[in-house]
């Protein structure tokens, strides 16, 4: 069974209203980058609305660099292109990471709600940001993120499990 990592909306910038979350977002970017160094399988970096009309204009450079030039990694948010890539890779299970749960990870066209009919999935709970939080400190935000993932009954894994069994 091929397992792919689906990273959603880890942009180069965020709306200025998220400035207080910058350290938390950067922490998540670094954790995802560390996982990408060890993950052996297809990866999709899907960053929506990078058309220049928003503060975010590209995927985060650290993640983009780790995906460029590799046949097993795709940078795209085009649903047809991504599904074709996943089919060619014989992907059966998607691991979700990125921003935001709740929000984009669930509801983007490549998110859980749209892809769960075709793929098994899990949320990599230590590789997600919760940008819908009302919390301020990182510990409370992480706690709220984990609580949300668990109470919505999403299958939850930790990043170590993505490469520990390989």
Buried b (16+ CB within 10 A) or exposed e, 125-161: bbbbbbbebeeeeeeebbebbbebbeeeebebbebee
Predicted confidence (pLDDT) per residue in 15-29, tens digit: 888 888 888 899 999
Q: Where are the domains of the chain?
A: 2-164
pLDDT at 57: 83
pTM of the model: 0.93
Q: How confident is the model at residue 166 (pLDDT cuts 50, 70, 90)?
A: very low
CA distance 163 to 151: 26
| Region 43-61 average pLDDT | 87
Domain spanning 2-164 has what CATH number? 3.40.50.850
CA distance 9 to 58: 9
Predicted confidence (pLDDT) per residue in 55-100, tens digit: 888 899 999 999 998 899 999 999 999 999 999 999 999 999 999 9
More confident residue, 108 or 51: 108
Q: Rounded to whole angstroms, what are the CA distances from 43 to 7, 52, 139?
A: 8, 24, 28
Predicted confidence (pLDDT) per residue in 103-132, tens digit: 899 999 999 999 999 999 999 999 998 888
């Amino acid at each position: 069974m091929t397992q792919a990592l689906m990273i959603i909306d880890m942009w180069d910038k965020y709306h200025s209203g998220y400035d207080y979350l910058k350290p938390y977002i950067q922490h998540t970017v670094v954790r995802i980058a560390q996982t990408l160094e060890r993950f052996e399988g297809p990866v999709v970096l899907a960053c929506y609305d990078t058309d220049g009309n928003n503060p975010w204009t590209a995927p985060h450079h650290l993640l983009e660099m780790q995906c460029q030039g590799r046949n097993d990694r795709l940078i795209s948010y085009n649903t047809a292109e991504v599904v074709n890539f996943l089919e060619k890779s014989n992907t059966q299970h998607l691991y979700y990471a990125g921003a935001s749960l709740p929000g984009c990870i669930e509801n983007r066209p490549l998110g859980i709600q749209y892809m769960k009919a075709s793929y098994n999935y899990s949320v990599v709970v230590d590789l997600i940001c919760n940008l819908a939080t009302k919390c301020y400190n990182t510990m409370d935000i992480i706690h709220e993120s984990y609580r949300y993932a668990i109470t919505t009954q999403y299958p939850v894994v930790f990043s170590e499990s993505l490469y520990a069994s390989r």
